Structure 1
Amino acid sequence: MAPKTIGRFKIGKKLGSGNQGTVYLCSDTELQRRVAIKLLNKSLPQASYRSEARTMSKLQHPNIVSIYEAGEHKGTPFLVFEYVEGQLLSDLIREGGLELAQIQNIFQGLLAGVSRAHQADIVHRDLKPTNIIINGEQMPKIMDFGIARLLSGGKEQDEVLIGSPRYMAPEYISKGQVGPQADVFALGLILDEMLTGMPVFNGRNQQVVLDNILNMEVKPPSQFNDTVDERLDRFVLKALEKDPDARYVDAEDMLNAFGALRKSPAESEAVGDAGHGTVDFLLRRMRRKSDFPALSQSVRSINAMAQVSDKDLNQLAGVIVNDFALTNKILKVVNSAFYGRFSGKIGTVSRAVVVLGMQTIRSLAASLIFFEHLQDKEQAERLREMISSSLFSATLASQVAKDIDSQAFEEYFLAAMLHDLGKILIAFYLHDESREIERLMQQESKSAVQAEHAVLGVTFEQVGIEIAKQWNFPKGLTASMESWNDDRKPATVIERRRMVAAFSRDTTQVMAEQGLDDKTAVTTLLQKYKEGLGLDRRKFKRLADQALEEFQEFSKVLSKDISQSFVKKISGDGAVQQKAEKRAAAKAKSAAKDGLGETQILN
């Protein structure tokens, strides 16, 4: 029999029960709100139970039912959850009639929620349609996050299987192995079930179901639903691979793939024959000619050693030293005031790698690659302006990233720097085609995607991503090169990089065309990224000024490469430039006084 009260909570009607416990609708008499309380069937050790519950309570996301608190009532552990009115996904599936667009929206929300959990190293372990509720706004919310983990004591490998047999992953059944790929498998099963209206694995008893999961080949959902195309089939079947290493790495990886799948055909379909011709031509040209993308071999080698260990730093330095032009530029930059926080002259590339780190050198190499041989190229100033714009955008992106993800700001720099890689390469190699794309946009009012497809059969973005893959940039970085056009808060690290890169490009355009004194342009820009970044005008101005100061310092070092007309455009009336010069003078004066550059005996 259910208690009438648990502490300050007044117990109401029973909402449901299962093997794990019983759920009641309750009233929080202090906070005057409705909550759901789950009384667990299993007695748990107090210390580990409360520790695990605290971990789960920190998991906050719009697609996850929040845990408010945990406790024990007369020896029975309980959890207090957010109460959500709605309909279970299992009931919606059973009723039938789910449209493809509705299924995709629900599944996108599920991926966003589980992705947030995986970022926090939390695995659900019991994802299934009865653990998902669809609220009145058609938003899916995942229930029972961490219940299976609580019941298992938080172990990474279970001695007994805990969960729902029909949604268990093969490696969990055979080895008790728990990890993000097990949630990926369950998500694939849920999507397949929404598409077909029936579970993927059935059987007359539990053992038959488990055997089928281990051995039965999954049929493509298109065999049961003719609105499912080949791309969605491939997506589902990859999630349901028997080998966890053949699936998506985690929910974030799955979310990125699903986002690409949902784009319009013009934006996301595989590169067609014409597009392949454009990319193949560029790759052949790079291998054959000695103009600037010949440096791509250096970048390819550097990226291949992106996880290089300290003992192999000399090997990395050797790759750069073999490229004389790249070596000179890197040493010139690292000895500038741009990296002035390091005292003493850096005379070798190996020393630069030790002092500045692998990621900084990789970012520099990716940036400086663009500036080689432009002086010998037709339309050199146009190219310089494009590249300078990308470099400033990247500098601004790294400033924004230091506020939101300080440990990985170099990745934001690269994502923004490389976003226009395809556009720059097309302008470099296919000048007439590049000009024709501009004409179609200006005179015939075609969108960028329409104009690029009309002329090249592929978008600049697709060209850039394909070339970046050839240069061995990591998968996460090439995924970060995709456009961001949403007005929502990013759900993953990769989405955050894409949004920051888009914000930086839009800011660069405003600075170059209207200037930061144009209140209407700045207000429109900040409103566009309000959900994602939430910057006020003061903070925005500070970030822009800092980026401009760094970029101007950079432009002094590479004065022959940076477009000075672009510098003037984004500098406005020169007030920021004067401020930067004063700060640089103050820094130099302070450094001369502190004695830290002189030999000392330290205790």
Structure 2
Amino acid sequence: MMADQPEKIGKYEILGIAGEGSMGRVYAAHDPFADHKVAIKVQNIPDDGSGASKLSRKMFFNEAHTAGELDHPNILAVLDAGEDGNEPYIVMEFVEGDNTLTEYCTEKNQLPLKQAVEIIYACAKALDYAHRRGVIHRDIKPSNIMLTPEGDAKIADFGIAQRMSSDTTQIMGMLGSPRYMSPEQAQELDTTPKTDLFSLGVVAYELIAGRPPFIAKGFSRLLYKIVNEDPSPPSEHRPEIPPRLNTIILGLLAKNPDDRPESGREVASELVAVFGDLAQEPVDISEEDQFRIVRKLRFFNDFSDDEIREVLKASAWETRAPGDEVITEGEMDNSFYIIVDGAVSVRKHGNEISTLTKGDCFGEMGYLSKIRRTATITAKDDLSLLKITATLIEQASITCQLRFNKVSLETLIHRLARTSERLAMSTT
């Protein structure tokens, strides 16, 4: 049982309890120097000098040391660590809601496929970042992947993480959560970055299929299945799963590490193609025909031919019928759209405020800043669209990304300027 809520821990002013479990407590707190909200994790570690308490303390500060050196948008940031009296604590970025992937790994509460794939993609990129810096997480599981209110994934809890090259004593043995262990962990063999990829495969399977890939009664039987039995394809439990996504997940779950993808970056690259598979009403138009059509659109006036081809590779070509909603006011979405043919109505609070036509674009606010949609966009007639998401455009070259973001930002600035002019005229 932990003590009553303190007023302060170190320099941090405690605002309330954000979460609590058998292992400790997480407080919401205020950093008076940086003037922002943080989360402080305090763990129940008995000060009895036992081997168990020494290991717990080592794991606790291992998280602070390891995660504190990582800076990635999909890894929960560790900001500070210390001891208050004899009580160790870790200060982390605060994620509103304390929501993890756990609740979405059942058949009754599954996420839409596109959102689930975006989360797997983000985690693959975060793991690739950590692995390139010599860190293996070793405990990837749904409860260690947090979700922000905007739907962004953040990998947390590096307590048993291992450094691939270190002179310090590492935390060894059969570590990790049994259901998400790799075959090498189950057999207490050496772990590698591909160990994390196997665990990510288990998480992906649960998130996509709504059930674990390995189900058994008892610890020993579970480990046997992990080491020796292949799971059924996820599509057996969710038929709408694209074949390509099936292949990627089963590849992550290969028994032999050599048969798994080489890196998280490779996984992320493979997932890019899945977004195209999931696009609504994909159109069968050759790449060369797509290029000729969009080359004429004013949005691409300043793009080179190579940059346009890169954007096309990171896009989904969609069609919508008259009356279809493309964007709904109030929803979270980071997609950006360019009208290839047709027209759309822009409505705010039910009132039509403008019409956009061929060559126009929309969705730049959500794309650039990940805020809720401020208007509803509806097809006025047969509509052809180029749909680009921030997730997909990240696969393009830096030059292409800079060009795309520059044009998107200029579009936003011009639109805001026109809105200001209309407001000024209406008040005169």
Structure 2-normalised TM-score? 0.61
- Structure 2 CA distance, aligned partners of 1:125 and 1:98? 25
For each residue in 1:438-468, what CA deviation from the matched residue of structure 2 results, as whole angstroms up to 9, or x when unmatched? xx689xx5458xxxxxxxxxxx99xxxxxxx
The reply to whether residue 58 of structure 1 matches residue 58 of structure 2 is no
Residue identity in the other structure for 2:30? S
SS at match of 1:70: strand
Residue identity in the other structure for 1:38? K
Percentage identity across paired residues of the two chains? 28
- How much has 1:10 moved relative to structure 2? 3.5
Task: Tell me which residue corresponds to 2:78.
Answer: 67
The reply to whether residue 202 of structure 1 matches residue 215 of structure 2 is yes
Structure number having the greater strand percentage: 2
SS at match of 1:10: strand
Q: How does 1:40-59 map to 2 (within 5 A)?
A: 40=43, 41=45, 42-43=53-54, 53-59=64-70
8 Å contact from structure 1 (residues 490, 499) kept in 2: no
CA root-mean-square deviation = 4.2
Structure 2 regions of 5+ residues with no counterpart? 46-52, 296-304, 316-387, 411-428
Structure 2 CA distance for partners of 1:500 and 1:26, relative to 1, 3 Å? closer
8 Å contact from structure 2 (residues 15, 27) kept in 1: yes
8 Å contact from structure 2 (residues 63, 159) kept in 1: no
Q: 1:148 aligns with which of 160, 185, 210?
A: 160
8 Å contact from structure 2 (residues 59, 171) kept in 1: no
Structure 2 CA distance for partners of 1:112 and 1:19, relative to 1, 3 Å? farther
- Structure 2 CA distance, aligned partners of 1:136 and 1:265? 23
Task: Tell me which residue corresponds to 2:228.
Answer: 215
Task: Tell me which residue corresponds to 1:456.
Answer: none
Structure 1 regions of 5+ residues with no counterpart? 270-274, 276-422, 424-436, 449-459, 462-479, 504-522, 532-603
- How much has 1:156 moved relative to structure 2? 9.3
Task: Tell me which residue corresponds to 2:354.
Answer: none
The reply to whether residue 77 of structure 1 matches residue 88 of structure 2 is yes
Q: 2:10 aligns with which of 1, 7, 20?
A: 7
8 Å contact from structure 2 (residues 59, 159) kept in 1: no
- Structure 1 CA distance, aligned partners of 2:39 and 2:199? 25
Task: Tell me which residue corresponds to 2:369.
Answer: none
SS at match of 1:263: helix
Residue identity in the other structure for 1:89? L
Task: Tell me which residue corresponds to 1:88.
Answer: 100
- How much has 1:100 moved relative to structure 2? 1.1
For each residue in 1:506-538, what CA deviation from the matched residue of structure 2 results, as whole angstroms up to 9, or x when unmatched? xxxxxxxxxxxxxxxxx977714989xxxxxxx
- Structure 2 CA distance, aligned partners of 1:159 and 1:208? 23
Task: Tell me which residue corresponds to 1:230.
Answer: 243
For each residue in 1:417-448, what CA deviation from the matched residue of structure 2 results, as whole angstroms up to 9, or x when unmatched? xxxxxx9xxxxxxxxxxxxx6xx689xx5458
8 Å contact from structure 2 (residues 128, 263) kept in 1: yes
Structure 2 CA distance for partners of 1:200 and 1:156, relative to 1, 3 Å? farther
Q: How many matched pairs?
A: 309
Task: Tell me which residue corresponds to 1:240.
Answer: 253
Structure 2 CA distance for partners of 1:162 and 1:152, relative to 1, 3 Å? farther
- Work out which of the two has the higher radius of gyration on C-alpha atoms and give 1 or 2: 1
- How much has 1:73 moved relative to structure 2? 3.2
Structure 2 CA distance for partners of 1:153 and 1:32, relative to 1, 3 Å? farther
- How much has 1:90 moved relative to structure 2? 0.6
Residue identity in the other structure for 1:148? I
For each residue in 1:274-313, what CA deviation from the matched residue of structure 2 results, as whole angstroms up to 9, or x when unmatched? x9xxxxxxxxxxxxxxxxxxxxxxxxxxxxxxxxxxxxxx
8 Å contact from structure 1 (residues 484, 502) kept in 2: no
- Structure 2 CA distance, aligned partners of 1:133 and 1:62? 12
Structure 2 CA distance for partners of 1:489 and 1:263, relative to 1, 3 Å? closer
- Structure 1 CA distance, aligned partners of 2:169 and 2:230? 28
SS at match of 1:147: coil
Structure 1-normalised TM-score? 0.44
Q: How does 1:367-382 map to 2 (within 5 A)?
A: none
- How much has 1:56 moved relative to structure 2? 2.2
- How much has 1:30 moved relative to structure 2? 3.7
Structure 2 CA distance for partners of 1:148 and 1:528, relative to 1, 3 Å? farther
Task: Tell me which residue corresponds to 1:263.
Answer: 276
Task: Tell me which residue corresponds to 1:122.
Answer: 135
Structure 2 CA distance for partners of 1:156 and 1:224, relative to 1, 3 Å? farther
Task: Tell me which residue corresponds to 2:111.
Answer: 98
- Structure 1 CA distance, aligned partners of 2:174 and 2:393? 31
Structure 2 CA distance for partners of 1:25 and 1:207, relative to 1, 3 Å? farther
- Structure 2 CA distance, aligned partners of 1:234 and 1:489? 21
8 Å contact from structure 2 (residues 233, 250) kept in 1: yes
The reply to whether residue 23 of structure 1 matches residue 34 of structure 2 is no
